[in-house]
Amino acid sequence: MNVLITAASRRVPLIRFFKEALEKLNPDGKVITSDINSLSPGLYFSDKFYYAPLCNSPDYIDTIKKICKAENISLLIPTIDEELPIYASLVEEFKRLGIRIIVSSEKAIGICNDKYLTYEYFCENNIPTPLTYMPDKIEFSKLVYPLFIKPRFGRGSVNSFIVRSERELKFFLDYIDEPIVQEYLRGIEFTIDVLTDFDSRVIASVPRERLLIRSGVTDRGITMSNPEIVSWGKRIAEKMGIIGPVNIQGKIDHGKIKFFEINPRFSGSIPLTIKSGQNFPELLLRMHMGEKVEPRIEGYKSNLLMICYEQGLFIDMNSSDNFKNGEAKRPEDYDLF
């Protein structure tokens, strides 16, 4: 049972956790990775890696299929938003090749990747969410500042800003490509990691407070005990028909929970969820192997703090083997700092 994780990038912890789970459940299984960039550190922590073009390239899917055939892949894990709609449209095609893709439906992906459609989905399903405006629907005289502006399509908190006046709002409306404007929420920002089975039944979830955010990813976070957030996370994931991992973001504003984003993929802070006792990679592998996994919603440790730090990976470029497609060295063979 070999696993392909696409867009390896900086997802070293996720790759390591899948390797550990495979060693436990299927020692002969391998974790294969792909990425366009030979300098992506995640490549060097997998058992074998390949280069692949950007997902919008006409050669992308043919390249992935060749990797899957060469490595006998049975489970494919997309990791970035841009890939998700492509893989959602190919689930049945890959299934006929004996490959399960961990991705939600095209409809769900379309809603999640569009922040205004996400807002409309929340409203239609009575899920608490901040007021959100499209630029052509804004009545400037009725606005209450501060507000929050961000791209309708995008990730990683790029071009997201607090807006404190009409002058600033007009500037950012012109500056940001396809923006949306939201009611500004104060208070505790949180994410809930949720895992569903292949029938969209929630198996596990872990809510966490985002203490410090860097480039859209939690740099410091702590798991929370909040049954209300857990209940909402279950409702959102199952109602939407999520398959596999999803992270749902929101804030507790003056004691009221409000949601504003759904990302139907592994979060960048999945190590905290796993270390708290909900091992999403292992649970996914068990389900893929045909094991019936029962829900374990409360099976995590609360008040577990994660503090991230940088680690360098040093590669001797005198060796021509470092950047060839093929088996990666073991991480311990590199100089880590």
**Taking the alpha carbons of 205, 249, 214, 333 in that order, is the dihedral positive or negative?**
positive
Domain extents for the chain?
2-102, 131-183, 186-303
Fold topology of 131-183: Dna Ligase; domain 1 (3.30.1490)
Nearest by Cα to 240 from 258, 259, 260, 264: 264
Output the pLDDT for position 117: 98
Instruction: In the chain, count H helices and then E strands.
Output: 10, 18
Kindly report whether the peptide bond that precedes residue 146 is cis, defined as omega within 30 degrees of 0: yes
> pLDDT tens, position by position, for the chain (337 residues)?
899 999 999 999 999 999 999 999 999 999 999 999 888 999 999 999 999 999 999 999 999 999 999 999 999 999 999 999 999 999 999 999 999 999 999 999 999 999 999 999 999 999 999 999 999 999 999 999 999 999 999 876 788 999 999 999 999 999 999 999 999 999 999 999 999 999 999 999 999 999 888 877 888 999 999 999 999 999 999 999 999 999 999 999 999 999 999 999 999 999 999 999 999 999 999 999 999 999 998 889 999 999 988 888 887 777 655 555 555 545 445 444 3
CATH of domain 2-102: 3.40.50.20
Output the pLDDT for position 69: 94
Query: Which residue's structure tokens are 């938003």?
Result: 81
Q: Taking the CB of residue 122, how many other CB atoms lie within 10 A of it?
A: 22
Q: What H or E segment, with its residue span, contains residue 274?
A: helix 270-275
Tell which CATH classification among 3.40.630.10, 2.60.120.560, 3.30.470.20, 3.40.50.1820 matches the domain 186-303: 3.30.470.20
